[in-house]
Amino acid sequence: MRRLEALRADFSVLRAMARGMPKASSHAERLAAFYAPQIDHYDRFRERLLQGREQLIAKLQLPDNAHLVDLGGGTGRNIEFFGERVSRIARYEVVDLCLPMVERARERGRRFPQLHAVQGDATSWQPRDKVD
């Protein structure tokens, strides 16, 4: 049964992708309408589709008390790829225009107090402090 549930989840994500971006007045609203129906399966599906993030993050050199920014960071899943090194991160900011993604990142922030999720446009957002 678990396999059937996984297939249904994949189908719902693929269906949303095939339908394309919904019509809405703003880009943020279009993103929300597109990603909200697939948010529960987003991370698992994207990890199979877009491989290599974990390996890339493993190669990053982190200074102590790092301040990192993840532009277009979606659900904040990337923070989990730091593993034990997450303790070296003082602040991890996830910036995403899509409110359902930001809300999911904020939920993840309950387990990672250094994670702060902000709804913002990655093309214009500016950090308050110096980042690493």
- Tell me how far CA of residue 20 lies from CA of 13, 34, 57, 103, 112, in angstroms: 11, 8, 30, 22, 33
Whether the pTM exceeds 0.75: the reply is: yes
Find the helix packing angle between 42-49 and 2-19, rounded to 10°: 80
pLDDT tens for 44-86 read: 888 887 889 999 999 999 999 999 999 999 999 999 999 999 9
Q: What are the chain's domains?
A: 2-119 (3.40.50)
- pLDDT for 45 equals 82
pLDDT tens for 78-117 read: 999 999 999 999 999 999 999 999 999 999 999 999 999 9
Helix, strand or coil for residue 90? strand
